[in-house]
Amino acid sequence: MKQVIVQCFVLVGCGYPDPSNHADASRIPDAGVPDSQVGACDLSKPFLPPILLQGVSTDRREETASFSPDELAAYVTLYQAPAGAGGLDVYAASRASTSESFNMPTLLPSINSSEDEAAAVVTDDGLTMFLGKGVTARHIAMSSRPNTSSGFGTPVMLPELASSADDINPWINADGTVIYFASARNGVNYDLMRATRPSATSTTFSPPVVVSVPVPISTPVLTQDELTLFFSSTQAGGLGSTDVWVATRASVTDPFGSPVNVSSVSSTTKDAPAWLSRDRCRLYIASDRANGAGSIDIWVSSRPR
């Protein structure tokens, strides 16, 4: 049976207009990540229990989300929202500081269509977006803009990364020259794929290759050095139907080692990693655990200082 993990965990990113230009984020005290928790942390300590991320978590289904490096702009995937163009759509939200709530996510009209658009991620300069797009199967697409004051253009499919099966949930490095994604091209389970391009202005990637992970994976989220992988899986040994797991390796050319359950952020329901802060101190997840705002919400977990 094909391992089907809800793939709609996407963060609102760059779009139309640039969410970082919105200064009217809701000012709910303690609604976001307190400023005191942003910055250096003890990487040897486990993540604390997640807290609900206010603003982007609504009574709708927030499948996943990604963020700008300063965590003030979010790119969120919503399922069948009233203003949406299709089943899954990409929305953008912003906040004035990490201690505040995000404003209400708004649809990115140039990105969305009657097809599904999901799991958008944006380069650190805010100029290039990668996402999954399609109808019966989703494949990786790319959208760009000349500056952060402009809206993103219509997404363009990247056929060199595509297969006849699902190619979903992209993760990119800071400048977008390295991309990882989950693909069902080799059978019933999802494999981790990796591809590169020579520069951030190159229009095509190298043929993707499988990165060895001991178990089927979905929703990959990596550290910038590509040596630590967070992912979701239904494998045995977890707490619920889908848990957050982590695996490491010594170099980019090595396979990932045996995964370990991230029990401090997992629950007895569905949990999937969405985005990791650049300092590795905060892990954002999508979860349908109790005490959320809707069926699936975005939560954030911080490591202690």
Taking only the tens place, the pLDDT of each residue in 178-193 is 999 999 999 879 999 9
| Position 173 in a domain | yes
| Position 112 in a domain | yes
| Position 234 in a domain | no
| Position 14 in a domain | no
The C-alpha atoms of residue 5 and residue 127 are separated, in whole angstroms, by: 29
| Position 206 in a domain | yes
| Position 92 in a domain | yes
Question: What does the pLDDT average to over 152-173?
Answer: 97
CATH number for the domain that contains residue 73 = 2.120.10
Instruction: Give every CB contact of residue 39 below 8 A, 6+ residues apart in sequence.
Output: 279, 281, 305
| Position 189 in a domain | yes
Please give the residue range of the domain that contains residue 65: 19-219+275-302
Tally of domains in the chain: 1
Q: How confident is the model at residue 265 (pLDDT cuts 50, 70, 90)?
A: very high
Residue 206 has pLDDT above 90, yes or no: yes
The C-alpha atoms of residue 172 and residue 212 are separated, in whole angstroms, by: 18
Average the pLDDT over each of 48-62, 79-93, 213-227, 259-273 and give the range with the smallest value: 79-93
**100-145 confidence digits (pLDDT tens):** 999 999 999 999 999 999 999 999 999 999 999 999 899 999 999 9
Length of the chain: 305
**10-53 confidence digits (pLDDT tens):** 333 333 234 433 333 222 223 455 554 455 899 999 999 999 99
pLDDT of the residue at 23: 32
pLDDT of the residue at 40: 84
| Position 195 in a domain | yes
pLDDT of the residue at 83: 74
